[in-house]
Chain A
């Protein structure tokens, strides 16, 4: 048997120290649960689960406030969680008498959702807070838990302001909405159930614009059939602002 070369021995010793200290360091520095479920500390999952909850959730509110829940259940605000307006209330659930959640009563809060913003989806009820009964608290007319209108709107523009603001500067300014739209009875009080209908064919426009029509003398006249037989008038012309073609 040949002798191990002398220079190998210190190299092996050094290598063993390096490997040994690496294993020792790995044991000390890497948490014991690292790699159990993947390349992370397993405890981190539990630590994330144990964080404090600030919002209690509407179900917790309804457990005690069943009277409000009942009012809300049949209103436009039924899907609106209590804590949107009243603020986070987990503390109130734990100690109902010590922590009382806030209730916004001024004019500042409702416009966060109901202030007019052109980017909001059409049909969502919006008002201009500067022009809508300035100085009056929203709550004095609308119950936030069941936000019905205090009285039926008189003008279509109360809800359809976006259209009204365009129509007022157009050649159609003097036409009433009902000239073209048929409105179901009750549309002003429950618009979701009683619809307003749009024209279905070109005869609505032809009523004024057909050649030979004597209804409005100033209205431009065309031969509706020859003008276009394949399209509806509003495919090209915007009826609320017809000159914008």
Chain B
């Protein structure tokens, strides 16, 4: 005869009954699993890139730029931009604002080989460097004028060129108010900065940001809390280039001088 304690420790459930009960809970378990977005989970595990989660932008702190133009040099290597002058995806301009007269702006070979000495006769009021690149405008004039749809805004906030579809008409080069585009001399199609789209979609930094020795360039995402760009926005006074054109640029400058165009 079994005692009460025996019954409590080993309740009399047959193995068959136990398995039967288990099978009954199975559908509800499956429902629970299905309630998670399985596809989304799988996509994340497989590392599939979802452009709608991102909104890329760049910050440039002019007070930190030393004009070494390592960004322009690295960009040419990374993106196979012709080494000859006048072909740039990014370049560094030197501004020299004299006590009297017009500001002098130069960027010999994008700054890669350095800058000539400033004339001794000139009384400099202030002088600084301004790195420039495609502003990845939300309302990009180049996208508007392209007659064949070879340049476009992506969902993650980058303006890209489709080199296979571009006919090389140069409308976009004319339309860009920032002079960010050029006609590639070998392929004869328009080319410009892509924020290193092949790198950022792989979780890396654009190469100009990667190599900047003084962290004058900040890359990140707008609207994301853990982006270094958020800190940049919080601690600096931010301007964009030619805001009056309503192009809504996505390259933001800190310490931008009023003379910069």
Q: Residues of A with Cβ closer than 8 Å to B?
A: 31, 34, 37-41, 44-45, 47-55, 57-58, 79-81, 83-84, 87-88, 112-113, 115, 117-121, 124
- Bound Cα distance A100, B94 (Å): 35
Does B175 count as interface, using CB distance less than 8 angstroms?
no
Which secondary structure dominates chain A's binding surface? loop
Q: Which of B77, B94, B95 contacts A55 (CB 8 A)?
A: B77
Chain A residues, Cβ within 8 Å of B65: 121
A residues near B83, Cβ cutoff 8 Å: none
Name, among A44, A50, A54, A118, the residue most crowded by chain B CB atoms within 10 Å (CB to CB): A44
Q: Is the CB of B160 within 8 A of A81?
A: no
B171 CB–A CB distance under 8 Å: no
Known A40-B162, A118-B124: A52·B215 in contact at CB below 8 Å: no
State how many angstroms separate the Cβ of B180 from the closest Cβ of chain A.
16
Counting CB contacts under 8 A, is B204 at the interface?
A: yes
Interface size on B, residues (CB 8 A): 48
Please indicate the chain B residues that have their CB under 8 angstroms from the CB of A34 in the complex.
Answer: 149
- Residue contact B78 to A119, C-beta cutoff 8 Å: no
Contact status A49-B49, CB under 8 Å: yes
**How far does the Cβ of A211 sit from chain B's closest Cβ, in whole Å?**
33
Q: Which of B79, B129, B207 has the most CB of A within 10 A?
A: B207
Cβ of B77 and Cβ of A41 under 8 Å apart? no
Q: Which of A31, A37, A54, A79 contacts B155 (CB 8 A)?
A: A37
One digit per residue, 1 when the CB lies within 8 angstroms of any chain A CB and 0 when it does not, for chain B 160-189 equals 101011000000000000000000000000
* Beyond A44-B164, A55-B78, A55-B207, 20 additional pairs, beta carbon < 8 A: A37-B155, A40-B150, A40-B162, A40-B165, A44-B150, A44-B162, A45-B160, A48-B198, A50-B198, A54-B207, A55-B74, A81-B210, A84-B70, A88-B77, A112-B68, A113-B66, A115-B114, A119-B127, A120-B67, A121-B64
Closest beta carbon of chain B to A29's beta carbon, Å = 11
A113 in contact with B213 (CB, 8 Å): yes
Q: Are B160's CB and A44's CB within 8 A?
A: yes
The reply to whether B152 and A38 contact each other, CB–CB distance below 8 Å, is: yes
User: B229 at interface (Cβ–Cβ under 8 A)?
Assistant: no
CB-based contact B77/A124 at 8 Å = no
| Distance of A63 Cα from B38 Cα, bound (Å) | 33
The answer to whether B237 has its CB under 8 Å from any CB of chain A is no
Query: Number of residue pairs across A and B with beta carbons under 8 Å?
Result: 113
Tell me which residues from 183 to 240 in chain B have a Cβ below 8 Å from any Cβ of chain A: 194, 197-199, 201-202, 204-205, 207, 210-211, 213-215
Q: Is the CB of A39 within 8 A of B152?
A: yes
Residues of B92-141 at the interface with A, using a CB-CB cut-off of 8 Å, are 94-96, 114-115, 118, 124, 127-129
Closest beta carbon of chain A to B136's beta carbon, Å = 13
Tell whether, in the assembled complex, residue B198 and residue A118 are in contact, meaning their CB atoms are under 8 Å apart.
no
Give bound CA distance, A41 to B51, whole Å.
16
Whether B63 sits at the interface, judged by CB under 8 Å, is yes
In the docked arrangement, what's the CA distance between A11 and B31, Å?
62
Please determine whether B128 and A83 come into contact, CB atoms closer than 8 angstroms. no
Q: Interface readout for B46-57 with A: 1 if CB under 8 Å, 0 if not? A: 000101000000
Contacts of A39 in B (CB 8 A): 149, 152
**Minimal beta-carbon separation of B69 from chain A (angstroms):** 8
Q: In the docked arrangement, what's the CA distance between A87 and B94, Å?
A: 25
Asked whether, in the complex, the Cβ of B124 is within 8 Å of the Cβ of A53, the reply is no
Asked if B153 is at the interface of the complex by the 8 Å CB criterion, the answer is: yes
CA distance A80 to B66 in the complex (A): 13
Q: Are B211 and A55 in contact (CB-based, < 8 A)?
A: yes
22 contacts between A and B (CB under 8 A): A31-B165, A34-B149, A40-B162, A41-B149, A41-B165, A44-B162, A45-B154, A48-B194, A51-B197, A53-B199, A55-B74, A55-B199, A55-B207, A55-B210, A55-B211, A57-B204, A81-B210, A112-B70, A119-B67, A119-B96, A121-B63, A121-B65
